[in-house]
Amino acid sequence: MLGWQSRDAEDLSPGHGHEHEHEHGHEHGREPLPGPLSPPCRAPPHGPAAALGAGRWALGAGCRVLGAGCRVLGAGCGAEVPRRGCSMAEVPAAPHRTTGSTLLHPLSALLGIPLDQINFVACQLFALLAAFWFRIYLGPSHASSAVRHAFATLFGIYFAVFCFGWYSIHLFVLVMMNYGIMNTASIPNIHRYSFVVAMGYLTLCHISRIYIFHYGILTTDFSGPLMIITQKITTLACQLHDGIGRQAEELTAEQNRLAVKTRPSLLEYLSYLLNFMSIIAGPCSNYKDYIAFIEGRHVHMKLLEVNWKQKGYDRLPDPSPTGAVMYKLCITLVSLVLFLTLTKNFPMAYIIDNEFLDKTPFLSRLGYLYVVTQAAKPKYYFAWTLADAVNNAAGYGFSGVDERGAFRWDLLSNLNIWNIETATSFKMYIENWNIQTAAWLKRVCYDRAPWYPTALTFILSALWHGIYPGYYFTFLTGILITLAARAIRSNCRHYFLSSVPLKIAYDVATWVVTQLAVCYTVAPFVMLAVEPTVKFYKSMYFHMHILSILVLLVLPIRPQARSVRKPQNEAIQNSVKSKDK
Q: Where do the H-state alpha helices sit in 56-186?
A: 105-111, 115-137, 145-164, 169-184
Contact of 49 with 11, CB cutoff 8 Å: no
Please choose, from the candidates 360, 158, 189, 183, the residue with its C-alpha nearest in 3D space to the C-alpha of residue 279.
158
DSSP string, 503-549: HHHHHHHHHHHHHHHHHHHHHHHHH-SHHHHHHHHHHTTTHHHHHHH
Residues constituting the chain: 581
**What residue spans of 165-222 are helical by DSSP H?**
169-184, 187-207
Do residues 34 and 15 make contact, with C-beta atoms less than 8 angstroms apart? no
Judge residue 467's burial from the number of C-beta atoms within 10 Å of its C-beta, 0-12 exposed, 13-18 middle, 19 or more buried: middle
Phi-psi region of 136 (alpha: psi -120 to 50; beta: other; left: phi over 0): alpha
DSSP letter (8 states) at residue 42: E
Spatial distance between the Cα atoms of 93 and 84, rounded to a whole number of angstroms: 14
Ramachandran category for residue 319: left, alpha or beta (phi over 0 → left; psi -120 to 50 → alpha):
beta
User: Which distant-in-sequence residues (6+ apart) come within 8 Å of 330 by Cβ?
Assistant: none
The half-sphere exposure of 58 on its side-chain side, counting CA atoms within 13 A, is 22
465 is catalytic: yes
Query: What does each C-alpha distance from 60 to 159, 181, 411, 526 come to in angstroms?
Result: 19, 29, 19, 10
Please tell me the distance from the alpha carbon of residue 130 to that of residue 249, in angstroms, as a whole number. Answer: 42
Which among 96, 105, 434, 491 is annotated as catalytic?
Answer: 434
Count of C-beta atoms within a 10 Å radius of residue 263: 16
345 labelled catalytic: no
- Residues 30, 96: contact at Cβ < 8 Å? no
Of 170, 465, 545, 574, the active-site residue reads: 465
Give the burial class of 148: count Cβ atoms within 10 A of its Cβ; 0-12 exposed, 13-18 middle, 19 or more buried: buried
Task: With residue 465 as reference, give the H or E element that holds it.
Answer: helix 453-465
Coil, strand or helix at 151 = helix
- Active-site residues, by number, are 434, 465
